[in-house]
Structure 1
Amino acid sequence: MNTSNQTYKELAIPYFKEVFDIIDEVMRLQKMPYYLIGANAMALELLKKGIPPCRGTKDIDFAIMLSSLSDYDDLINLLEERGFNRVKAPWTVYSEKFNVAIDILPFGEIEEHDTQDFIDRKSDLHLVGFKEVLAASTQVFIEDKIAQIPPLPGMVILKLVAWSDRPEERDSDLYDILTIIEHYFDFNYDEIVEFHNDTFPEGDNEFDQLKISARILGRKTKQFLQKSDPLKVKIIQLMDGNLISPESSVIARHWTYDREWDIEYAYQILQELKRGISE
C-alpha cells in the first residue's frame, strides 16, 4: 500500500472531490471494485514525486469490475438519483451541476458472459488490457479517500490500446504516454539505477534520459503482455506499424508536433520503447 497523500487542490480539477465522493459512495453501496484511470490517475501517480499535472481535463474516467450488465445499469440508476444523466455514449454519464462527464467502463466477468446486449453496447469499448493492468493497481490516498490506480507502465499500455482503437479522437493518449516517458527517470530513479543501469550508455555516448526511460517502460510493460496473447499481439502490431519509417510513424509525428522535436528523435524514443518490450 502506498501511503502518499494528495489533496484535491493539487489535482487542480474543478469539482473532483464532489464527484469522487459520489462515485465512492455508490460503488461501496454496490460492493463494486473500481479504479481511477486516465489522465487523473496519471496526475495522482506523478504527484507522489511532486510532479504537477501536465494537462487539465474535466472528464473523469473509472473502470469497474462487474459480472453482469444489469449490475452496471443498477449503478447508473443510483448515479441518476444523485443528479447524473445518461448521454448518447453508452458508458458515459454527465453532471450538469458539476459540468463534468464521467466514463465508467465495465470489465471482468461481464466480458466473458458476452450477452448480446453487452456485445451491442460495447462497440466502442476498448477492454483489452484492463484485467491484466488493473490487477497490478496501487492505492493512493486523496485526503480521506483511497483511489486504486494503475502503475505508470500499465497506463502506457491502456493508452496505447485506447489510441489504437480511436486514433482520430484520442490524441491526448499519445501526449500522456510521452509525459510518462519524460518523467519516468526521475519518478523511478532508485530502481532504475539499481536494476536497469545496463541501459546507461558506455564511453562517450550521450546519456539520454528519455531514451532510457522509454526502454525501461517497455521492459516493465512485458509483465502485462505476457499475461494476454491478444494484448501482446495488439501492442506489438501497433508498435511495428509505427516503426516502418519516421515519416510514416503516426506516433512519432504526434510527438514531434507536441514537443517541436526532429521526427528522427521522436522515432528513436519509440524505437527504445519497442526495444524494451522485445528484451
Structure 2
Amino acid sequence: MSFGEIEAKPSNVTVQGTGLTSLNMSGFKEIYDSGLPEAELEEKHRFKFCTLPGIVLLKLLAFQERPEIRRDDVKDISKILKHFFDMYANEIYEKHNDLFGDKYINLNWIAARVLGRDMGKIAQLSEDLFIRIKKILTKNTIDIHSSNIAKIMTEFFQNTIEENVKLLEQVKIGYLENR
C-alpha cells in the first residue's frame, strides 16, 4: 500500500483543511508492508489488522513523540507483555523453542523476547525506523534511573523498575536478533 500523494515525507501525512493537517506516520508503512493478517466477516467484509508487535512499535513511537500525554501507551504495552505468551503460546513453542531450557529465563521473558523478534522483523524494513526503535529500547534499558518506560510500567505491574528494565531488555535482545 502506498499512502500516495498525501505522503509528504517518509513519515508524515499531510491533508488539506482546517485543524490537524499533519500527522507523523512513522511505522505505518513498514507494518503494512510486513504483511498484515486478514479477517473476514460474514463472508463479505475483508479487512487487514495490525499485529500486537506492530501495535507495540506504534505505541513506542507515540510515547517517544509526546511522553507527557502518552503514558497510557506504555500501560497498553504492559498489558500486551503480560498476555503475549498466552496469546501466542502455540507460535512460541513451534517457532521459538530455542528460548526454552535456560533455567534463568521465565515465560514472561520468553514472550518479551519473541515480541522483540517480531518487532524487529517489521522495523528492519526501514533503517530509520529500526534505529529509532533501537534508541528507544536502549535508552530505557541502559539505566534504571533513566527508564521512563520502566517507571510507568510499575503502575501496571505493581513491581519494581529493575524488573521492568529486565523485561524491556528481553524485548531489546529479541529486537536486535534480526540484525
Question: How far off its partner does 1:257 sit?
Answer: 1.7
Match of 2:60 in 1: 160
Candidates 156, 176, 179, aligned match of 1:278: 176
Separation in 2, partners of 1:262, 1:236: 23
C-alpha contact (below 8 Å) 1:126/1:162 kept by paired residues: no
Separation in 2, partners of 1:142, 1:242: 40
Structure 1 segment 54-203 matched on structure 2, within 5 A: 66-69=3-6, 109-111=7-9, 121-122=21-22, 125-135=23-33, 136-141=35-40, 145-202=45-102
Higher relative contact order (CA 8 A, sep 6+): 2
Q: TM-score scaled to structure 1, two decimals?
A: 0.55
Separation in 1, partners of 2:105, 2:165: 17
Candidates 118, 128, 131, aligned match of 1:230: 128
Structure 1 segment 37-56 matched on structure 2, within 5 A: none
Question: How far off its partner does 1:197 sit?
Answer: 1.5
- SS state of the match for residue 147, structure 1? strand
| Unaligned residue ranges in structure 1 (runs of 5+) | 1-32, 34-64, 70-108
Separation in 2, partners of 1:117, 1:175: 30
Separation in 2, partners of 1:150, 1:116: 22
Separation in 2, partners of 1:273, 1:259: 16
RMSD after superposition: 2.5
Letter in 2 for 1:227: L
Q: Deviations over 1:29-59 (max 9, x none)?
A: xxxx8xxxxxxxxxxxxxxxxxxxxxxxxxx
Candidates 97, 102, 107, aligned match of 1:209: 107
Match of 2:167 in 1: 269
Flag the structure with larger Rg: 1
More helix by share: 2
Letter in 1 for 2:38: Q
Separation in 1, partners of 2:13, 2:146: 39
Separation in 1, partners of 2:92, 2:30: 23
Q: Which runs of 4+ in 1 moved over 6 A?
A: 114-118
Separation in 2, partners of 1:275, 1:219: 8
C-alpha contact (below 8 Å) 2:13/2:25 kept by paired residues: no
Separation in 1, partners of 2:174, 2:151: 21
Question: How far off its partner does 1:258 sit?
Answer: 1.6
- SS state of the match for residue 38, structure 2? strand
Match of 1:83 in 2: none
Separation in 2, partners of 1:213, 1:248: 24
Separation in 2, partners of 1:241, 1:260: 22
Q: TM-score scaled to structure 2, two decimals?
A: 0.83
Match of 1:81 in 2: none
Aligned residues: 171
Identity %: 33
| Unaligned residue ranges in structure 2 (runs of 5+) | none
Separation in 2, partners of 1:181, 1:253: 15
Question: How far off its partner does 1:168 sit?
Answer: 0.9
- SS state of the match for residue 4, structure 2? coil
